[in-house]
Structure 1
Amino acid sequence: MSSHVQPTANPGQRKPVTLHSLRAMHARREKITMLTAYDATFARLADESGLDTLLVGDSLGMLLQGHSSTLPVTLAEMAYHTRCVARGLQHGGAAWLIADLPFGSYQQGPSQAMASAEMLMQAGAQMVKLEGGGWTAETTRFLVERGVPVCAHLGLTPQSVHALGGYRVQGRDADGAAVLRRQAKELADAGAAMMVLELMPTEVAAAVQADSPGLMTIGIGAGPDTAGQVLVMHDMLGATRGRLPRFVRNFMLEGGSIGDAMRRYVAAVKDGTFPDRVAHAYSAD
């Protein structure tokens, strides 16, 4: 069975989102919106719904491949899905495209990271994301100096789930919070333009943003004080089975279509009604 529907131009004819325009949004305190995307069809829907950025996440390992973690996902698979999403943005698409460097594709050092980033950017990514702090600052600096925009990722880092003892809130005690703040500052100083802050107390995420005002922090389970928000597309559409984290809001319950749900998500992030400071966030207590 095949589809013969011809692609149409972006109805809103948005200007392409760039790193410069994202920084301008951040400077004027306009919230940045992000969703995961893994294929051309959903990428196009998300783009037409006004998403500023799309993330080809290694979460595809669990959502598309049925794994119990992101660890089995390969670089070749990430490049494949990045190409799919990039094709969905070819006809008038505007969203900025980020792709995850999967586990094992950058841990050996800057040169390996550069080769992996090259593969993803040739597939259509405009920025790559890597997880963790400490040693990743050197890799971040190496990539940025060679023209690769970098999104860092701190807090709950799924590629380190076994070392972290499971999917749990990070930085709840003073020592843990101090480590996250130090690592975030190191990554920002190394040139990371954006940083996903996952599953950490609201006050810790707010402190990370305050420590590096020019850094575009993107929260997921990190409260409302970040520069923007990201959710896994399947979660916010109510398609994920099982118990969802408290920071997820099912926007399909409010909208009659996938596109409408995405537009409601964009609007809620932009106007500050999502995430809720109590219902969708964690404290250090």
Structure 2
Amino acid sequence: MSSQRQETVRRLAAPDIAARKGGEPIVCLTAYTAPMAEILDAHCDLLLVGDSVGMVVHGLPNTVGVTLDMMILHGQAVMRTARRAMVVIDMPFGSYEGAPEEAYANAARVMKETGAQAVKVESGPTVVDTIEYLVKRGIPVMGHVGLRPQSVLVDGGFKAKGKANDERVRILEEAKATARAGAFAVVVEGVAEGLAREITDAIAAPTIGIGASAGCDGQILVTDDMLGLFDWTPKFVRRYGDLRRQIDAAVGAYAEDVRARRFPGPAEIYFAKAANT
């Protein structure tokens, strides 16, 4: 055994994120693969293995078709390389909306098989009791209010929320109930700017905005969106890269070199050793 002690990096956990309420903004991004998680880990406080993986990686039209096995597989990949950031895994559609006991069994499986620090559920009037049930049994939970992607079939699309007063009141009350149930943080997605600030002021848990307000306690984006891997991105995304064009140019150059027999060249091939004479 080496006499040199290895430096231990302490991973952030739910109490660390909860303690950031009103303080330094919490930096969050989505992660689905080991190589990307390794890069993001140095910059982020929280990595979300989002069910958006169904659309971003698997080409699904929405998140409804994502399975528990898919979330566990990608959660395991992220946990293999993320060292410092807290890792939260989305509970997919159909895995937590029924009986609290079923939700607990599924959430416990996610925690055991991935080693992640928490799960996320899309909040609603029927989910608040489940959040409390999970938290009381040792599973940290992140909530999610406003635009809820798993409700896309009910809503008829991905539509901003909270513009009308009755909807604003409902979302605010859902956020309050989610925090009271024990959620350590609440994602606020696709809501009017004023409502996002109102929610942030009204609850003790930190808010993580996406298409909400800079007044939230933190921000999250789908990493592939902010890196510019798609032709189209939502209004609330700021592109910090243009990787789609860079990848297209790199692959095009590779294809040209292969067709012209310029690749592989002498630097990329192996040669037999000269025979002894």
Please give the TM-score of this superposition, normalised by the length of structure 2: 0.82
Q: Does 1:23 align with 2:18?
A: yes
Structure 1 partner of 2:30: 36
Match of 2:63 among 60, 70, 73: 70
Residue of structure 1 equivalent to 2:221: 231
Gaps of 5+ in 1: 1-8, 258-285
Partner of 2:129: 138
Conservation of the 8 A alpha-carbon contact between 2:186 and 2:207: yes
SS in 2 for 1:88: coil
Q: Which residues of structure 2 form unaligned runs of 5+? A: 1-5, 247-277
Larger radius of gyration: 2
Q: Alpha-carbon deviation of 1:26?
A: 2.4
Offset of residue 253 of structure 1: 5.2
- The CA deviation at 1:14 is 5.3
Shift of the alpha carbon at 1:193? 1.0
| SS of 1:98 mapped into structure 2 | strand
Q: What displacement does 1:52 show?
A: 0.3
CA distance in 1, matches of 2:212, 2:9: 29
Counterpart of 1:245 in structure 2: which amino acid?
P
Equivalent residue, structure 1, for 2:188 = 197
**Structure 1 residue identity aligned to 2:214:** P
CA gap 1:202/1:14 in 2 versus in 1, 3 angstroms: farther
Residue matched to 1:270: none
Moved over 4 A (4+): none
| Distance in 1 of aligned mates of 2:175 and 2:156 | 21
Whole-Å separation in 2 of the counterparts to 1:105 and 1:18: 23
| Residue 95 of structure 2 corresponds to residue 105 of structure 1 | yes
Q: Does 1:164 align with 2:158?
A: no
Give the match for residue 233 of structure 2.
Answer: 244
| Displacement after TM superposition at 1:210 (Å) | 1.1
Write the deviation string for residues 12-65 of structure 1: whole angstroms up to 9, x where unpaired: x754212222233325x11001100001110010002x2000000011111111
In structure 2, what is the Cα distance between the partners aligned to 1:179 and 1:47?
35
CA distance in 1, matches of 2:33, 2:57: 10
How far did 1:97 drift?
Answer: 0.4
**Deviations 1:230-265, CA, capped at 9 Å, x for gaps:** 000100100023x211110111159xx9xxxxxxxx
Q: Matched residue of 1:26: which SS?
A: coil
| 3-state SS of 1:207 partner | helix
User: Distance between the aligned counterparts of 1:230 and 1:120, measured in 2?
Assistant: 22
Q: Distance in 2 between matches of 1:113 and 1:76?
A: 15
Contact 2:54 2:65 in 1 (8 A): yes
Q: Distance in 2 between the 1:31 and 1:109 partners?
A: 35
Q: How many residues were matched structurally?
A: 239
The equivalent residue for 1:209 is: 200
Considering only aligned residues, what root-mean-square deviation do their CA atoms show, in Å? 1.9
- In structure 2, the partner of 1:277 is none
Structure 1 residue 223 displacement after superposition: 1.3
Contact 2:93 2:150 in 1 (8 A): yes
